[in-house]
């Protein structure tokens, strides 16, 4: 899959089948859109292209004091991986800034959809709006279709069990720790991936060493203490307990971090790319009066997580694959 951090340069532009949106979550509704777009593109061999935005437009407007930013479901890495798994050929990530926000609806169609991406088939959702002040709608896209040289198709919202499949529904399920519901909405288990980075080594001092992943945005869709399993360090996923938050017990203004304590694991894995799959929620983040109280709570969390694995039968420390003495890491070409 090709990824462009802006519109493709002129010599790399080619006719495409396009859909547009934030695609946070790449949930089953998004997947249905891409599947239909692939079917429409297949007879003519058009590449399937997704135009998405960074930051999320609502995040940008929140910096101007207009509205509240949404909680993020996926990191950019995980979103791109999910889009690639859906069979997308090209992703264009538009930098949503002041100049982009001021594009009129007509400019958006002419400069982005027609000239910038050479769209020949455009598939949009039933609530799609675009351009400055969200003035653009289906009627405007239809009016431009003939002169712009594209076919326009609109898709109804995907509904499951009487409820709309949406990023908001995924956020609500994540916030409540309903991971069965999250899996149903996403069509896959929820996970966060990234490279293991150095932390303060406090967990090691407390007797519970952790591997740490940075969270690259200020408002994740979930916080707290979780039962997880970690992919990428052995032939089978490894059981663990994790904290996602700002660590109020040890820092007053800490940055967001995903800290994962792997059971019975002592190997250093800095720089490795791992995927942390969330299985169950244990509790909220808490503050503590001293490190002894924090150590006691981590011990309780760890025992509860071990018990969860034993009771669920999904994966236990006893059945986890042994870690090879020398594990060759599969790395990405870059962090994009």
pLDDT of residue 206: 66
209 confidence band (pLDDT: 50, 70, 90)? confident
| Per-residue pLDDT at 142 exceeds 80 | yes
Greater pLDDT, 9 or 315: 9
pLDDT, tens digit, for every residue of 118-129? 999 999 987 889
Q: What are 81's two structure tokens?
A: 């991986």
Domain with 289 in it: what CATH number? 2.40.30.30
Which of 261, 229, 222 shows the shortest CA–CA distance to 244? 222
In a domain, 320, yes or no: no
| Per-residue pLDDT at 26 exceeds 50 | yes
In a domain, 8, yes or no: yes
In a domain, 181, yes or no: no
In a domain, 319, yes or no: no
How many domains does one find in the chain? 2
pLDDT of residue 205: 62
318 confidence band (pLDDT: 50, 70, 90)? very low
pLDDT of residue 211: 93
Residues 13 and 144 reside in one and the same domain: yes
In a domain, 179, yes or no: no
Enclosing domain of residue 225? 189-312
In a domain, 30, yes or no: yes
Residues 116 and 206 reside in one and the same domain: no
* Phi, psi at 294, each rounded to 5°: -65, -45
Residues 118 and 239 reside in one and the same domain: no
For the chain, the average pLDDT equals 88
pLDDT of residue 336: 33
Residues 148 and 220 reside in one and the same domain: no
Lowest-confidence segment of 58-67, 178-187, 191-200, 284-293 by average pLDDT:
284-293
* Average pLDDT value for residue range 251-261: 78
Where does a domain end: 108, 131, 164?
Answer: 164
* Average pLDDT value for residue range 142-152: 96
* Average pLDDT value for residue range 2-9: 93
pLDDT, tens digit, for every residue of 92-116? 999 999 999 999 999 999 999 999 9
Residues 198 and 135 reside in one and the same domain: no
Domain with 154 in it: what CATH number? 3.40.50.620
> CA–CA separation, 320 vs 175, rounded Å?
29
pLDDT, tens digit, for every residue of 81-94? 999 999 999 999 99
Residues 7 and 147 reside in one and the same domain: yes
Residues 15 and 148 reside in one and the same domain: yes
pLDDT of residue 320: 38
Lowest-confidence segment of 100-104, 182-186, 252-256, 313-317 by average pLDDT:
313-317
The full 3-state SS of the chain, as one line of letters, equals CEEECCCCCHHHCCCEEEEECCCCCCCHHHHHHHHHHHHHHHHHCCCEEEEEEECCHHHHHHHCCCCCCCCECCCHHHHHHHHHHCCCCEEEEEECCHHHHCCCHHHHHHHHHHHHCCEEEEEEECCCCECHHHCECHHHHHHHHHHHCCEEEEECCCEECCEECCHHHHHHHHHHCCHHHHHHHHCCCCEEEEECECCCCHHHHCCCCCEEEECCCCCECCCEEEEEEEECCCCCCEEEEEEEECCCCCCCCCCCEEEEEECCCCCCCCCCEEEEEEEEEEECCCCCCCHHHHHHHHHHHHHHHHHHHHHHCCCCCCCCCCCCCCCCCCCCCCCC
pLDDT of residue 250: 54
pLDDT of residue 324: 33
Q: What are 237's two structure tokens?
A: 């996923």
Which of 126, 30, 145, 186 shows the shortest CA–CA distance to 38? 30
pLDDT of residue 174: 97
């Amino acid at each position: 899959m090709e990824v462009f951090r802006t519109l493709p340069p002129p010599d790399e532009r080619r006719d495409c089948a396009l859909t547009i949106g934030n695609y946070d979550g790449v949930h089953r509704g998004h997947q249905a859109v891409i599947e239909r777009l692939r079917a429409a593109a297949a007879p003519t061999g058009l590449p399937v292209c997704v135009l998405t935005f960074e930051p999320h437009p609502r995040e940008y407007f929140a910096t101007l004091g207009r509205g509240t930013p949404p909680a993020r479901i996926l990191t950019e890495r995980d979103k791109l991986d999910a889009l690639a798994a859906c069979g997308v050929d090209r992703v264009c990530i538009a930098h949503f800034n002041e100049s982009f926000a001021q594009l009129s609806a007509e400019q958006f169609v002419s400069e982005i959809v027609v000239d910038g991406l050479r769209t020949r088939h455009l598939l949009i959702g039933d609530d799609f709006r675009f351009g400055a002040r969200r003035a653009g709608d289906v009627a405007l896209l239809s009016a431009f279709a003939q002169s712009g040289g594209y076919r326009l198709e609109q898709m109804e919202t995907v509904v499951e069990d009487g409820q709309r499949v949406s990023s908001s529904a995924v956020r609500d399920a994540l916030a409540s720790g309903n991971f069965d519901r999250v899996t149903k909405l996403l069509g896959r288990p929820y996970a966060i991936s990234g490279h293991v980075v150095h932390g303060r080594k406090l967990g090691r001092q407390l007797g519970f060493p952790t591997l740490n992943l940075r969270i690259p945005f200020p408002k994740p869709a979930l916080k707290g203490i979780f039962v997880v399993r970690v992919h990428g360090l052995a032939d089978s996923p490894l059981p663990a307990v994790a904290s996602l938050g700002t660590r109020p017990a040890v820092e007053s203004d800490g940055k967001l971090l995903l800290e994962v304590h792997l059971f019975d694991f002592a190997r250093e894995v800095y720089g490795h790319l791992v995927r942390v799959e969330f299985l169950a929620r244990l509790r909220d983040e808490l503050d503590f009066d001293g490190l002894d109280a924090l150590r006691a709570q981590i011990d309780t969390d760890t025992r509860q997580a071990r018990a969860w694995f034993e009771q669920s039968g999904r994966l236990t420390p006893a059945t986890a694959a042994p870690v090879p003495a020398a594990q060759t890491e599969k790395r990405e070409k870059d962090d994009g």
